[in-house]
Structure 1
Amino acid sequence: MNKETSNFQRKVKDHWYVKYEQASFPFIQKGWILPVDRWADFDPFILMAEDWFKRGAFSDHPHRGFQTITYVVDGRLEHIDNGGGRDILEPGDVQYMNAGWAARHAEEGVEDDIAHTLQLWLNLPKNLRKTATSYQNIYAEDAPVMDIEGGSVKVFSGDFGEVKGPLDSVVPITLAEINLEKGANYIHSLPEAHNAFLYVLSGDLDLGNEQDVVRLTKHGVATLTYNEGGDSLRQSEFRIKSNSRRSKVLIYSGTPIKEEIVPYGPFVMNSMEEIKQAYTDYREGKFGPPAI
């Protein structure tokens, strides 16, 4: 992203650590990075789950009315959809899905692997809920990397200087994976009107300016302040410092949609009546054949 004249300095708005629960096989363990009951705070993001699972956990199922962004932390993840798509994603890969009006797919561990994934649900505005279903795989080696002092920034989505991420979402977002060595300081730029959050995958980080710094380690989550009346073409700054030999953090941002939503089961709509219609359409076969 081009360095603009915006002086908006972001800081940590709220922070917490993910709590995990063991689950029944083929699920292994689950935690909520972004709990669904706070979707209004996270807008345009709805929820984010961290899952460990084996084959059979997320077999054929439908979606409607939102987008997903899945980051593979470990293991192998097989994607299967009823449009004929099939691929295997490995650690560091990302898959984007626009469920649109009628997605039907499966997300499976491969062979005896335990798949470890982060799945973010990204809202669609009401006028885009009927868009066509689509999928895009972004392999780790295809995401451009910016070298910075004491580390690197891998860009999956958004523009950072001369670097543009390959992820092409219906509702534009930024997604960057930041890797820092001990003592490295980095200023991350984000559109000032974007709501943003981060998740610490490893290490120990100081977040924000010295006068209001927050320290987080692995499994830490933070939401960031933003300029609600700002301009998405102007930039804001957020400071990050690594306190450990190897720190890795994911930062997501997007423009709030500011619409009431009803997340229910595998669907996200604007009313309970629309949720009921989605279930009716699925039972009547309007989502197409199973993903197998």
Structure 2
Amino acid sequence: MEKEIIEKQENIFRRDVKNHWYVQYEEAEFPSIQKGWVLPVEGWKDFDPFILMAEDWFKRGAFSDHPHRGFQTITYVVDGRLEHIDNAGGRDILEPGDVQYMNAGWAARHAEEGVGDDIAHTLQLWLNLPKDLKHSETIYQNIYSENTPAFEFEGGKVKVFSGDIAGVQGPLNSLVPITLAEISLSEGTTYKHQLPENHNAFLYVLSGDMDFGINKVNLQKHGVATLTFNENGTEENESTLTIKANKRNSKVLIYSGAPIKEEIVPYGPFVMNTMEEIKQAFRDFHHGEFGPPAK
């Protein structure tokens, strides 16, 4: 039995850092305040199934009523309070550490607002939908930090928002297989994070100082890295990413998902497979097919 366990460990795919960079920020026109691209949209083929990730600081009025079609969003609140309003009657306030999942599907119309005088600070990820799901039902799901399952170990804690990580199942119900975890480590702690070996993955450092992968790439706050993965692997086989914290209160978000491998056209608030489908989405919106405004 012991030999079998050792052999399994030796055969597991060990992840490394493929590319890494730091987010560059620009001041924005009020009520937006500052913006940076964690994942720039022009790299979507490398990020598949992820399209882009934006980091935004904004006040009320920056993201009032607007439409979406053809993809999903995962919004992590870093700081401040975020009010979600949709034209199906949904309204809620998310606080730091909370996550909202939206499947825009065929026709979402919503608003994302800072609360009162708060400056909302968010990370919003756009997650692709395969062609046969681009006209699926619109869904919203809020995952609150205090209700998110987690596991702890000496020197660390992992909150599981989505996927099965070390036997802990996250509550986020994406239409495509993904994982999302928030990992907090104290200084000197080493942790091996488990991911399906066929998932494309990236990470974003929220705070602290950490080394990642076999080559021990060092990243600090606002650092981003894409990871190697086994493109011919399976969902069932695990891979590991080694993480070491060099400072106290080191925290990182890790996202992973199975590539969809379809051509897409991200344009404005829509993500479709052809430009004609983009044009149709604009026509449908202007003809009222997305329903009344969110307010």
Q: TM-score range by the shorter chain?
A: over 0.9
Residues 1:233 and 2:247 aligned together: no
Of 77, 84, 88 in structure 1, the residue corresponding to residue 89 of structure 2 is 84
**Which letter does structure 1 place at the counterpart of 2:90?**
G
What is the 5 A alignment of 1:52-131? 52-131=57-136
Confirm or deny: 8 A CA contact 2:166 2:194 kept in the other structure: no
CA contact under 8 A between 2:203 and 2:253: conserved in structure 1? yes
In structure 2, give the amino acid aligned to 1:24.
Answer: E
Cα distance in 2 for residues equivalent to 1:230 and 1:116:
36
Kept in 1: contact 2:100–2:142 (CA 8 A): yes
TM-score by length of 2: 0.96
Q: Which residue of 2 aligns with 1:213?
A: 216
RMSD of the TM alignment (CA)? 0.9
Matched, 1:135 2:140: yes
CA deviations on 1:22-44 (whole Å, 9 max, x unpaired) are 00100000000000000000000
Deviation at 1:60, TM superposition (A): 0.2
Cα distance in 2 between the residues matched to 1:149 and 1:135: 35
1: CA distance, partners of 2:151 / 2:60: 35
Matched positions, count: 288
Counting aligned pairs with the same residue, the percent is: 74
The answer to whether the aligner puts 1:51 opposite 2:56 as a matched pair is yes
Structure 1 Cα separation of the partners of residues 106 and 15 of structure 2: 36
Name the counterpart of 2:179. Answer: 174
Alpha-carbon distance, 1:148 to partner: 1.9
Deviation per residue, 1:208-266 (Å, 9 max, x gap): 12xx2100000000000000000111000110000001100000000000000000000
Q: CA deviation at 1:282?
A: 0.1
Question: Match of 2:290, SS?
Answer: coil
Identify which of 10, 15, 21 aligns with 1:10. 15
The match for 1:275 among 272, 278, 287 is 278
For residue 255 of structure 2, give the secondary structure of its aligned residue in structure 1: strand
Query: Alignment partner for residue 202 of structure 2, among 188, 197, 202?
Result: 197
1:42 aligns with 2:52: no
Structure 2, unmatched stretches of 5+, are none
Q: Unaligned stretches of 5+ in structure 1? A: none
Distance in 2 separating the partners of 1:187 and 1:153: 11
Q: Distance in 2 between matches of 1:83 and 1:273?
A: 27
1:284 aligns with 2:287: yes
Cα distance, 1:152 vs. partner?
A: 0.2
